[in-house]
């Protein structure tokens, strides 16, 4: 069979969620994935990786978390197992190890063409569920380093044993950068961390995980339209914290007091010298300010609703940067032999050939995943509709909405066809 009512490109949790909803509606569809189920979690994460949101928030459509540690944080292999068991629970029509080369329409045709490594397919509707992390973003100054320096992107980091003796420079302090720097530090490696503008969040506060408070407060249900800066919301770096060892804050100041060398954002690399911005204190203070704003919001919620909770606490800084943290460094003299670029990803949707649905950054534009191109949908992206979109917690809502939109579209098309024939 080469024609389907719907083709879903991407077999991660978003694509599987869409498949689950379409199957319940008896919509004939096919899921195409470039690997096997669970590969993005199993092959593109480091060995000690775990969720930063509690297990109870894992609620794919028809498949809530069913383990015995709802307040814990699944490790990488446990996440893979969860996604695989989800697929087994409803048996989606999926073909793995398939490269999708292009999705397009002929000028005079309303049907989508999907060209792949196993042949060409057509579909009435297409859902793109490939996420937003496509091309590793390595900054241009990487070319200024000596060829003896091993450089990788966070997508290729597995464990501290990847690197020979010597110090490691981690560039970027978002969720990946902060956790990888900590992973190396725990293993006894000498670490330099170039700190960016990522905010941080408390792990627990006043007796509960902060995620639970924010869920109760409706933060994850906040739609993109209510965000003060909708245009930038989808591109902002996530707050850093960790689920490691049962969950805890990541405090970069504490890491500095233990020997991790903090610097500002990386600048030029010239003749063996790395220059950094004079923004380390500013970035640390801004991250702490976000941390405190979250605490203040929780305090206000507790007060307004008369909730009994443990007494409030406030963060006390363990370390302050000095002038030495603003100085350039001779990376060879400092013994730096490897660099990990934790600098995010670029999107690549050029293969979905509908130029009018993208903004100037090449990012798709849509309303709740529904684009201006009739029959073309996106799912699994940050802030697709709410703050929870793209996460295990809220992808079900997005999948149900898109499925309902597709069902209604087919019904309207059927009525229009009948009226035309009359």
Domain ranges of the chain: 3-134+347-421, 136-341
* Range with the poorest average pLDDT among 3-7, 26-30, 141-145, 414-418: 414-418
Share of the chain above pLDDT 90, in %: 92
Rounded to whole angstroms, the Cα distance separating 132 from 336 reads 31
Class level of CATH domain 136-341: alpha beta
**Confidence class of residue 415 from pLDDT cuts 50, 70 and 90?**
confident
What does pLDDT average to over the chain? 95
Mean pLDDT (whole number) for 222-244: 89
Class level of CATH domain 3-134+347-421: alpha beta
- Helix or strand or coil: residue 324? helix
Please enumerate in sequence order all residues whose Cβ is within 8 A of that of 186, keeping only pairs 6 or more positions apart, or say none: none
What's residue 340's pLDDT? 98
- Say if 3-134+347-421 and 136-341 have the same CATH topology: yes
Please enumerate in sequence order all residues whose Cβ is within 8 A of that of 360, keeping only pairs 6 or more positions apart, or say none: none
- The separation between the first and the last C-alpha atoms of the chain, rounded to the nearest angstrom, is 31
Encoding tokens for residue 170?
A: 């981690």
Residue 421 has pLDDT above 70, yes or no: no
**Confidence class of residue 273 from pLDDT cuts 50, 70 and 90?**
very high
By the 8 A CB rule, do 185 and 177 touch? no
Residue 293 has pLDDT above 70, yes or no: yes
Buried b (16+ CB within 10 A) or exposed e, 13-22: bbbbbbbbbb
Q: What is the pLDDT of residues 343-372, one digit of tens each?
A: 999 999 999 999 999 999 999 999 999 999
Residue 1 has pLDDT above 80, yes or no: no
**Confidence class of residue 158 from pLDDT cuts 50, 70 and 90?**
very high
What's residue 198's pLDDT? 96
Q: What is the pLDDT of residues 186-225, one digit of tens each?
A: 999 999 999 999 999 999 999 999 999 999 999 999 999 9
By the 8 A CB rule, do 57 and 392 touch? yes
What's residue 231's pLDDT? 77
pTM: 0.95
Rounded to whole angstroms, the Cα distance separating 176 from 352 reads 28
Rounded to whole angstroms, the Cα distance separating 19 from 410 reads 16
Q: What is the pLDDT of residues 305-316, one digit of tens each?
A: 999 999 999 999
Residue 67 has pLDDT above 70, yes or no: yes
Share of the chain above pLDDT 70, in %: 99
């Amino acid at each position: 069979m080469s024609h389907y009512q719907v083709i879903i490109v991407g077999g991660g949790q978003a694509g599987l969620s869409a498949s689950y909803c379409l199957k319940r509606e008896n919509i004939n569809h096919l899921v195409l994935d470039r690997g096997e189920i669970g590969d993005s979690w199993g092959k593109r994460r480091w060995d000690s990786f775990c969720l930063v949101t509690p297990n109870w928030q894992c609620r794919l459509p028809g498949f809530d978390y069913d383990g015995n540690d709802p307040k814990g944080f699944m490790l990488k292999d446990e996440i893979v197992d969860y996604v695989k068991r989800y697929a087994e629970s409803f048996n989606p029509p999926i073909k793995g190890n398939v490269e999708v080369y292009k999705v397009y329409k002929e000028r005079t045709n309303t049907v989508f063409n999907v060209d792949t490594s196993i042949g060409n397919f057509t579909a009435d509707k297409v859902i793109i569920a490939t996420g937003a992390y496509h091309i590793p973003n390595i900054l241009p100054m990487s070319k200024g380093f000596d060829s003896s320096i091993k450089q990788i992107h966070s997508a290729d980091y597995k464990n501290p044993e990847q690197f020979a003796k010597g110090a490691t420079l981690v560039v970027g302090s978002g969720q990946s950068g902060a956790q990888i720097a900590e992973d190396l530090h725990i293993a006894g490696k000498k670490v330099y961390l170039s700190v960016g503008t990522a905010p941080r969040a408390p792990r627990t506060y006043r007796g509960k995980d902060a995620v639970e408070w924010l869920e109760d407060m409706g933060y994850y249900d906040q739609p993109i339209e209510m965000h003060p800066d909708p245009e930038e919301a989808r591109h902002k770096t996530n707050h850093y914290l960790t689920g490691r060892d049962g969950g805890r804050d990541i405090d970069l100041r504490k890491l500095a007091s233990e020997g991790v060398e903090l610097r500002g954002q990386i600048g030029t690399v010239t003749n063996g010298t790395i220059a950094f911005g004079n923004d380390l204190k500013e970035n640390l203070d801004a991250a702490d300010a976000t941390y405190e704003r979250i605490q203040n919001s929780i305090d206000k919620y507790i007060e307004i609703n008369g909730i009994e909770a443990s007494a409030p606490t406030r963060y006390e800084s363990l370390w302050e940067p000095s002038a030495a943290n603003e100085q350039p460094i001779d990376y060879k003299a400092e013994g730096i032999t490897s660099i990990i670029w934790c600098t995010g990803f670029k999107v690549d949707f050029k293969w979905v050939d509908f130029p009018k649905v993208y903004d100037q950054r090449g990012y798709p534009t849509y309303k709740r995943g529904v684009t201006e191109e009739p029959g073309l949908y996106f799912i699994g992206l940050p802030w697709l509709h709410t703050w929870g979109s793209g996460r295990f917690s809220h992808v079900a809502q997005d999948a149900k909405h898109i499925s309902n939109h597709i069902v209604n579209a087919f019904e309207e098309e059927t009525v229009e066809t009948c009226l035309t024939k009359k």
